[in-house]
Amino acid sequence: MHLRVQTCAALLALVVVAETALPTLAAGTDYDIADGHYYEQGTGTKGRGFVVVDDEAAPLWGELRRLGGVPAMGYPISSRYACDGGVCQAFQYAVFKWGPTAKKEVELLPVFDWLHAEGHDAWLDEVWEVPPMEPAAADTKRSTTNKDRVDDRDPAALLEENPAIKSAYAKLGGAAPSIYGLPRVYRASEKQAVLRTQRTALVHSASAPDGVRRIPAGEVFREAGYVPIEALDPVRGPRLSKALPPVRISIPDLKVDADVIALDMGPDGVLPTPDTGRVVAWYSYGARLGEPGNAVLAGHVDWDRERGVFWALRDAKAGQVISLRDANGKTYDYKVRWVEDFPVDSIDGLEALRPQRKEARLTLVTCSGRFDFATRSYESRRVVRAALIGERP
């Protein structure tokens, strides 16, 4: 899970696709289901759509949210299907693959390298205006792995050809190669400039000089015939999930009692923190109350020279009970399993915030350790992990 830490005051941030043009958000129905979400948008068929779920085979719903959701990856345009020993699902702007090489996150298929290896460059140029690649620019053997290979040309030099495209690519930082892939070919005309990468193509049009749009790689892959036809048939909408997010948290042993607000990922990929020290944030990428998954809540340890809502987490310990209440008044009790402080750049600390579906668990996170006045942030995070033990009306 690509997590990018700014400061402990910011708590955490997810690396997602940069602010290139977003996919068209078609009218239609979508709603939460058990362990996932159902989307009808883009299918053209009322009452039918595609589901994205977390299960034992692949946590694709959690991965979609980690990567920025629909604004970044587009709507699903297929059901799951088997691919090279793994599980794949096509979205408008990418094709997800989980396993057998994936360890802790999905791979995005190198769609444009694949299509080059299959001899589709002329079609890509004619239909999608994506420039063809030189023979040396891609592996001659088709591969769906995430092991990128650099061709004879310098990818950095290709990025220098167009400042707008370079800026869009650079917004992803170190995640750019895994999201977009390495730059392959650049072509410019009076109409537009196009940078073809392994997994997409970035287009800077003369008619829209302030924006860069992405070619919808998943739709390209589908139109080229590489998504099985049986995976393209929309399904009937499943039963709606009855699980709700929390609206109140209490920890009797620590005298914590506060409102909980729901926060979504911002367009820049950052998970925002509350703008006050008196409330707790529940993040929508995580689980809802009672359902299998990891419900992640964050709060400030201090705020504006006063103790914050999670100040008392410094005294948290295994065995304590954390109660969360939903909008219908139902209470869910979680028992603390462990408490640990992690350096802000610790991989283990970030692992605790990942989505999962094996059990209903709760993760609280706040700042801890020494405050660095130079960086205006704390040196570590306190993570409290708990598991569901019961429900009360």
How many residues comprise the chain? 393
d(CA 342, CA 279): 23
Ranges 11-20, 61-70, 241-250, 357-366: which has the least confidence: 11-20
pLDDT of residue 152: 54
With 0-12 CB in 10 A as exposed, 13-18 as middle and 19+ as buried, what is 263? middle
In the structure encoding, which two tokens stand for residue 32, read together? 């939460």
The answer to whether residue 219 scores a pLDDT higher than 90 is yes
Residue type, 312: A
- Residue 125, helix vs strand vs coil: helix
The answer to whether residue 155 scores a pLDDT higher than 60 is yes
Asked if 87 and 98 touch (Cβ cutoff 8 Å), the reply is yes
The answer to whether residue 136 scores a pLDDT higher than 50 is no
d(CA 248, CA 127): 53
More confident residue, 195 or 7: 195
Give 45-84 as a DSSP string.
-TTEEEEEEB-SS-BHHHHHHHTT-HHHH--B-S--EEET
pLDDT of residue 110: 95
Of 175, 169, 157, the closest CA to residue 204 belongs to: 169
The answer to whether residue 201 scores a pLDDT higher than 90 is yes
The reply to whether omega before 100 is within 30° of 0 (cis) is yes
357 pLDDT band, cuts 50/70/90, is low
When the pLDDT of each residue in the chain is averaged and rounded to a whole number, the result is: 83
H or E element, residue 95? strand 95-98
HSE value, Cβ hemisphere, 13 Å, CA-based, for 344: 22
More confident residue, 180 or 46: 180
More confident residue, 158 or 19: 158
> What fold does the segment set 246-392 form as a domain?
Sortase; Chain: A; (2.40.260)
Of 108, 127, 105, the closest CA to residue 350 belongs to: 105
Helix, strand, coil fractions of the chain, as percent rounded to 5: 20, 35, 50
Mean pLDDT across 171-178: 82
The answer for residues whose C-beta is within 8 angstroms of residue 340's C-beta and 6 or more apart is 349, 382, 383
Within 160-223, residue ranges assigned H as helices are 163-170, 176-179, 217-223
- pLDDT above 70 covers what percent of the chain? 83
Query: Is the pTM higher than 0.95?
Result: no
Mean pLDDT across 45-56: 87
d(CA 55, CA 62): 10
- Buried/exposed code over 273-308 (b: 16+ C-beta within 10 A; e: otherwise): bbeebebbbbbbbbbbbbbbbbbbbbbbbbbeeeeb
pLDDT of residue 266: 55
344 pLDDT band, cuts 50/70/90, is confident
pLDDT of residue 140: 41
d(CA 366, CA 313): 8
d(CA 378, CA 296): 20
Asked if 9 and 304 touch (Cβ cutoff 8 Å), the reply is no
Asked if 107 and 99 touch (Cβ cutoff 8 Å), the reply is no
The answer to whether residue 94 scores a pLDDT higher than 90 is yes
d(CA 140, CA 152): 14
pLDDT of residue 12: 47
Bridging pattern class, strands 377-392 and 331-343: antiparallel
The reply to whether omega before 110 is within 30° of 0 (cis) is no
pLDDT of residue 287: 86
128 pLDDT band, cuts 50/70/90, is very high
Query: What are the domain boundaries of the chain?
Result: 30-236, 246-392
Ranges 17-31, 226-240, 254-268: which has the least confidence: 17-31
Mean pLDDT across 184-202: 94
pLDDT of residue 133: 87
39 pLDDT band, cuts 50/70/90, is very high
Asked if 293 and 54 touch (Cβ cutoff 8 Å), the reply is yes
pLDDT of residue 236: 85
In the structure encoding, which two tokens stand for residue 155, read together? 């990818």
pLDDT of residue 264: 76
Ranges 29-33, 161-165, 301-305, 347-351: which has the least confidence: 347-351
